[in-house]
Amino acid sequence: MVAYTVVIPAAGRGKRMGADANKLMLSLRGKPIIAWTLQVFDTDPWCEHIVLAIRPEERDWFEAMMAHIDTPITYVIGGEERQQSVYAGLLVVETDTIVMIHDGARPFVKREQLHQVAEAALQGGAILAVPVKDTVKQVERHQIEQTVPRENLWLAQTPQAFQAKAILSAHEKAVERQVLGTDDASLFEWLGETVQVVPGDYHNIKMTTPEDLLFGDAILAKGDLQ
């Protein structure tokens, strides 16, 4: 067993979802998206602590919706950028633990995958990812410049797991040097650290566009997430 804390940035707005408010509040089969996500961690005995980075004006809503969660939750104020929210969360995490960083809009990660990433993080950074299935084109001004070989291309997912002290150091250096990474693993890579890829699942989608709500409903209908 590898005990871990999970940091979940939940202060976004969901512009691509076309929502007027936080997309994590949108309902999926009668329950907010974020509630489905937290359920995964609340039911995992390896998860000791949940850190939610939120907007202060939404705290009452989150506290009411998460009142049933047994795992301890700490709320922190998130930033305009995802990286700022993650950093705020890392500041309240014990430095001698494994920390996972997970998108609040990915409610379909499986417990087995959480455990695999947590175990891999004992040796350094680790992320869930899946191989690219489609042919990839590099495009400039709507013209194809080249077809990119996809054999070594993977799509990064979350959670991404690290030793808490190490990823906090990466974020601190990024703040000092005003570096904005595409994800937390990219900051780890930027410092020359090794990140292991753990094969993920194509069901572990990020709820980003209105179409994803349809996909999410279909995934829940299958009922095989654990």
pLDDT-derived band of residue 15, with 50, 70 and 90 as boundaries?
A: low
pLDDT in tens, 97-108: 999 999 999 999
Q: Where are the beta strands (DSSP E) in the chain?
A: 4-9, 27-28, 31-32, 47-54, 73-77, 98-101, 125-131, 136-140, 143-148, 154-163, 195-199
pLDDT-derived band of residue 217, with 50, 70 and 90 as boundaries?
A: confident
Kindly state the percentage of the chain with pLDDT values over 90: 85
pLDDT-derived band of residue 209, with 50, 70 and 90 as boundaries?
A: confident
What is the average per-residue pLDDT within 2-20?
Answer: 81
Tell how far CA 2 is from the center of its chain.
Answer: 19
Superfamily of segment(s) 4-128+156-222: Spore Coat Polysaccharide Biosynthesis Protein SpsA; Chain A (3.90.550.10)
pTM above 0.75, yes or no: yes
pLDDT in tens, 132-185: 999 999 999 999 999 999 999 999 999 999 999 999 999 999 999 999 999 999
pLDDT in tens, 49-87: 999 999 999 999 999 999 999 999 999 999 999 999 999
Helices (H), 75-226: 82-90, 111-120, 164-177, 184-190, 210-222
pLDDT of residue 226: 59
